[in-house]
Amino acid sequence: MPSQTIAILGGDLRQYYLADYMIKEGYDVICYDTFPFPHDSLDFQKKLRFADSLKAALEDARLIVGPMPFSKDGVSLWCGKPTQDAIPCRENEKPLPDAEHQVLFGDTKNAPLSLETLLSLLQPWQILAGGGIDKNFAHAALKKKIVLFDFLEDPILNLRNAALTAEGLLACLIYETPFSLTDCSILLLGFGRCGKEIGKRLKFFTSKLRVFDSNESASLSAYSMGFSPISQEELSGSDLPYDIVINTIPDRILSKEQLMALPKDCVLFDIASVPYGFDFILTEQLQLKSVLCPGIPGRFAPRESGKLLGNSLKTALF
């Protein structure tokens, strides 16, 4: 049986299922500053340890697993918040009332965990994993001879996460729109990993799906899969008759004029990472409903996503 100690930090419910997976695989797991975990079996609670300090969590850990995304501000480790939303599509969901915390156990601190503090405690014999590790942090960690493993560099994990993202997005689309997806008109911005998986699922609902991607190869791929690509010239037209716009590109594709050409009841969904694809201040001024949908796998399929993280670690490191 493996004897390595794994420290798990920050994140969301993916970290809980990652801990569960690694414990079942025989690893010793200790957590610190994690998302509040739901109650589980007494046997699992006995095996899962929580550290009183970051130093205590790291001192015996060969592998430290940070969240995905690793950080959203480049200053602190990211840790999600529990929500009371029926469908947790949005970034600004409401936190649970204090009474609800009684059914959770975990180690969430009031103050964010500083990346600078984390770096100061890491030792050259340790391995740090995370999703989208901050470049400045990574540079400093490599100077300390810390071994880094970025989940975003695992192609199999990324492909499966794209599928989970597409599945979760369907829930967001249904929940956040007042109309049926059947035969609605949809504009999909970007046809990379996530765009392809989204397109595969939406074609069961509607034939009115247009795809924009500035990459000619991606546009040809969309066409070969039976979708109708839209050109930059057509996208710049005065009439964009879409019920839904889905953005997967971390860049501003639609200008103010293009947003103004959309119907007032069009709903915008953004699954891209920072800096996102929509100017949300502008969309509010234009009275267009926009929904930011980050971290969908962790919100809608944390069990499967946590297992994928564990399998990625085992395949790459053990």
Residue 101's pLDDT band (cuts 50, 70, 90): very low
d(CA 226, CA 220): 10
pTM of the predicted model as reported, rounded to 2 decimal places? 0.87
The 10s digit of each residue's pLDDT in 217-272 is: 999 999 999 999 999 999 988 789 999 999 999 999 999 999 999 999 999 999 99
Q: How far lies 175's CA from each of 90, 169, 171, 179, 196, in Å?
A: 11, 10, 6, 10, 22
Q: What is the pLDDT of residue 42?
A: 54
Q: What is the dihedral of CA 31, 295, 273, 313, to 10 degrees?
A: 50
Cis before 229? omega within 30: no
- Identify the residue whose tokens are 């601190």: 109
Task: Yes or no: say if 265 and 287 are a contact pair by the CB < 8 Å rule.
Answer: no
Q: What is the pLDDT of residue 257?
A: 95
* Confidence check: pLDDT of 315 > 80: yes
d(CA 64, CA 57): 9
**Position with higher pLDDT, 55 vs 41:** 55
**Residue 111: both structure tokens together:** 């103050």
Q: What is the pLDDT of residue 98?
A: 35
Which of 78-87, 187-196, 282-291 is least confident? 78-87
Q: What is the pLDDT of residue 48?
A: 87
The 10s digit of each residue's pLDDT in 150-183 is: 999 999 999 999 999 999 999 999 999 999 999 8
Q: What is the pLDDT of residue 317?
A: 87
The 10s digit of each residue's pLDDT in 34-51 is: 988 876 655 666 688 999
Chain Cα centroid distance, residue 228: 28
Average pLDDT value for residue range 201-209: 96
Amino acid making up residue 270: D
